[in-house]
Amino acid sequence: MIHLAEQTGSTNADLAAALRGGEGWPEGSWLVARRQTAGRGRQGREWFDGAGNFMGSTVVQLGEGGPPPASLSFVAALAVRDAAAAVVGEGAPLGLKWPNDVLLDGGKLSGILLEMVRGHIIVGIGVNLAHAPQVEGRKTAALADVAAPPLLEDFAASLAAAFDRRLEAWRTYGLGATLHAFQNQSVHAQGAPLTVHDTDGSVLSGTFAGLEESDGALRLRLADGRERVIRAGDIS
């Protein structure tokens, strides 16, 4: 079910308040806003509020023995890619960049933010449908760059259905199948050069050596042959 709000501060914050207040939020339901005045991205970045773009959140209830909760970022990225491909076609230059970026022709198309509240993961997603923000030092993209932008309601329904399918696969077949699907659409080729910009400001260079099967962390092979496991940071 899609709940559409004309304007709110943050759909993630709204669902967090509902969970903390005991109201709950049924899994499979989405809160989608036409305007969002206090959206956030990864690492505390502000999320662009563009009229005609998608901004929404849903909730996943965690169970015993499932894959690591943080790996839901791969589920979300795959679902965004599925919904975007339904608009622009499978032949469009869509790709996935670790940890959860969806790219269109090399430009960042979406943002994903996970938050844990009372045994639930809130999955917040923003997708540039009609407009892409100007971000210094980073290429951005919108679906409107290559196709007629979809109606918000239509894209929300498509994304919700794609997320349900990807979530079911994550639970049924485990993280390995989800990581395999992610790498099939990944822009990172085995052995390709990568530079990691850590959250503490440090920079590390090496080559792509795959993803950790346990949690999806990135493996970076250094010049001396050693491998480093990267669980947070931006890569280029």
Going from the N-terminus, what domains does the chain have, and what CATH number goes with each? Answer: 2-184 (3.30.930.10), 193-235 (2.30.30.100)
Tokens of 56: 């929404």
What's the CA angle centered on 27, arms 181 and 156, to 5 degrees?
A: 65
- Predicted local distance difference test score (pLDDT) of residue 164: 98
Residue 59 CA: distances (Å) to CA of 26, 28, 113? 7, 7, 12
Q: What are the pLDDT digits (tens) for 138-194?
A: 899 999 999 999 999 999 999 999 999 999 999 999 999 999 999 999 998 888 898
Give the pLDDT of residue 74.
97
- Are 214 and 178 in contact, with CB atoms under 8 Å apart? no
Written as six digits, the tokens of 51 are 């009229």
Cα dihedral value 48, 127, 25, 64, nearest 10:
-110
- 202 closest CA partner among 163, 234, 160: 234
* pLDDT at residue 66, rounded to an integer: 85
CA angle at 172 for the pair 168 and 176, rounded to the nearest 5°: 105
Cβ proximity of 46 and 62 under 8 Å: no
Lookup: tokens for 204: 């590390």
What is the residue whose two structure tokens read 């329904």? 157
> Given a cut of 50, is residue 44 above it in pLDDT?
no
Q: Is 22 exposed, middle or buried (0-12, 13-18, 19+ CB in 10 A)?
A: exposed
Instruction: Identify the H or E element spanning 211.
Output: strand 203-211
